[in-house]
Structures are given as structure tokens and as C-alpha cells.
Amino acid sequence: MKRRSLFLNFAAAGGFLFLYAPIIALIIYSFNKSKLVTVWGGWSLKWYGELFQNEQIINAALLSFKIAFISASLAVVLGTMAGFVLSRYGPFRGKMILSGWITAPLVMPEVITGLSLLLLFVAMEGLFGWPSGRGTSTIIIAHTTFCMAYVAVVVQARLASMDETLEEAAMDLGAKPSSLFFLVTLPLIAPAIISGWLLSFTLSLDDLVIASFVSGPGNSTLPMVIFSKVRLGVTPEVNALATIMIAIVAIGVIAAMYQMRRQARLLAKPE
């Protein structure tokens, strides 16, 4: 028994090392003074300075944040509606189709989603003259479409695991459907909506393939700029950028965990 758990701990430690070694190496090398990425030339913040002077990267980052914010917000509205419909409406005509359309983007290869949306936009431009050219708005539409599927799944899972008696009570007490939703259901599923928004924001911020298909000239998002840079090899500026992004995410996740733990402790307290 003892020996087996030792082997297991060893294998698991190897797994965690595998998960973190490349990230840690990348962080350390972002502080490397030398331009040769693998030769250690002492500690320096030089590449961070260069990063903040690189207008191409800064502009791309701003564009990506804008797209991610708008797409995540739209995806939350549409995804919540879809998730709510699928779990609270009972059977209705077209339910199978809707639930198929909701889960399909989750298994669809990104190259197919990207290509099909681009061809749609081109065809629509030919037919209606909209969207004229491709750019920020087409990327937002594309991101909203695949993010809303994730939101719908998260919201649906939350609604399925939730106690329905509160909603039934409100209904029996005469709440209108709209106030039932906004005053009772919405506050109850708020955690799922928040995590759906964060997930959408992250996915949108990270998307390279779909954005490459549906963006136009002069509308490069951050992943597109990073990809064109790293395709040619490792660059110290991207190391610095990666370190900043990892730090932001790590702080966010740790803060969220701390908050959740505090809430759990408050709830666990006897009255």
C-alpha cells in the first residue's frame, strides 16, 4: 500500500512538473538580458520596456480586449437565453435542432467554423452589401457565436442542478414571467453567468484561427500578432508579454478561489 502510493505521488509530481516547467522557464527567460533567447545574460527588465514601446502589440492588445469584452457580453445574453429555453421550456417544436446547434460549436474544429463564417460574410456582402469588408464587427459576430455555446452549456448545467421550488413559489405568488426571471431565476444563476462571461472573455482573447479567417487587413488581434512573430522563432518580447498575461490570470484565479473559500466559510458558519 505504502509503495504504491509512493509511485503514484512520483508520477503525479512528474505530471505537475510537465504542466509547469515550460511556463516557469518562459517566465525566467523573460527577465533575460541577452538577446539570444537561450543564453543567460543576467536579470533585466529590458524586454518589458521594449514591449510597452511596441505600438503594434499595444494596439493589437487593445483591439483584442475590446472584441473580447463585447463578444463575451453578447454571448452571455444569447447563451443565457438559449440555456434557459433548453432547460425550462419543456418540449417545443425545434428543441432538438436548437440543442444540436448549441452543442455543435463545442465539437467543431476551429478551421471549419472560421472558414464557414468567412464564406458567409463574403456571400452576405455580395447579396446585401453588408458587412462591407471584414474587421472588428465580423470578429465580434464570430466570437459571440462560439462563446454563446459555452455560456449556454454552463447556464443549462446550473439550471438543471438547481432547486425549482423557489421559482415555483414565486410563480404561485403571482410573479409575472419577466419578473420571475429577473428577480428570482437570474440572481440564482448569476454565478454561472459570471463564469460563462469570464470563459467567453478568455476564449475570445485567445482565439487565433477563427479571427484569422474573419478579420480584414489592418485588424490584427493580439493572438494574430503573436503568431506571426513566434512563427519565425522565440522572441524575448513575447516572453515578456506572456509573463504579464500569465501573472494577470494567476492573480485572477487566486482571487476568485479566495473569494469562493471565504463565501463557503461564511455559509458554513452556524447561525
Among 154, 159, 223, 240, binds other proteins (CB under 8 A): 223
Residues within window 85-114 making contact with other proteins, judged by CB under 8 A: 85, 89, 92, 94, 98, 100-105, 107-112
Say whether residue 183 binds other proteins (CB under 8 A).
Answer: no
Q: Would you count residue 184 as binding other proteins (CB under 8 A)?
A: no
CB-CB neighbours of 170 under 10 Å: 17
Of 50-69, which residues contact other proteins (CB under 8 A)? none
CB 49 → other proteins: shortest distance, Å?
Answer: 20
Instruction: Return d(Cα 261, Cα 157) in angstroms, integer.
Output: 22
b/e sequence 108-145, b meaning 16+ C-beta within 10 Å: eebeebbeebbeebeeeeeeeeebeebbebbbbbbbbb
Cell (9 digits) for 124: 452576405
d(CA 221, CA 241): 14
Is 213 among the residues that bind other proteins (CB under 8 A)?
Answer: yes
Among 4, 42, 91, 130, interactor with other proteins by CB under 8 A: 4
What is the spatial distance between Cα 14 and Cα 9, in angstroms, rounded to a whole number? 8
Q: Please tell me the distance from the alpha carbon of residue 179 to that of residue 185, in angstroms, as a whole number.
A: 9
Decide if residue 178 touches other proteins (CB under 8 A). yes
Closer Cβ to other proteins, 212 or 220, answer by number:
212
Q: How many chain residues bind other proteins (CB under 8 A)?
A: 90
- Cα angle for residues 117, 146, 256 (degrees, 5° grid): 150
- The residue among 165 and 178 lying less far from other proteins, judged by its C-beta, is 178
The answer to the question of residue 263 lying near other proteins (CB under 8 A) is no
* Interface pick for other proteins out of 205, 211, 220, 237 (rule CB under 8 A): 205
Choice between 26 and 188, CB closer to other proteins? 26
Give yes or no for a cis peptide into 131 (omega within 30° of 0): yes
- Residues in region 230-259 near other proteins by CB under 8 A: 230-231, 233-234, 238-239, 241-242, 245-246, 249-250, 252-254, 257
Return the residue of 11, 266, 267, 268 that touches other proteins, per CB under 8 A: 11
Cα within 13 Å of Cα(224), Cβ side: 20
Residue 152's nearest CA partner among 98, 83, 74 is 83
CB of 17 or CB of 45, closer to other proteins? 17
> Among 78, 162, 166, 184, which residue interacts with other proteins (rule: CB under 8 A)?
78
Residues 22-41 that bind other proteins (CB under 8 A): 22-23, 25-26, 29, 37-38
Q: Which of 45, 176, 183, 262 binds other proteins (CB under 8 A)?
A: 176
Residue 236 buriedness (CB in 10 A; 0-12 / 13-18 / 19+): buried
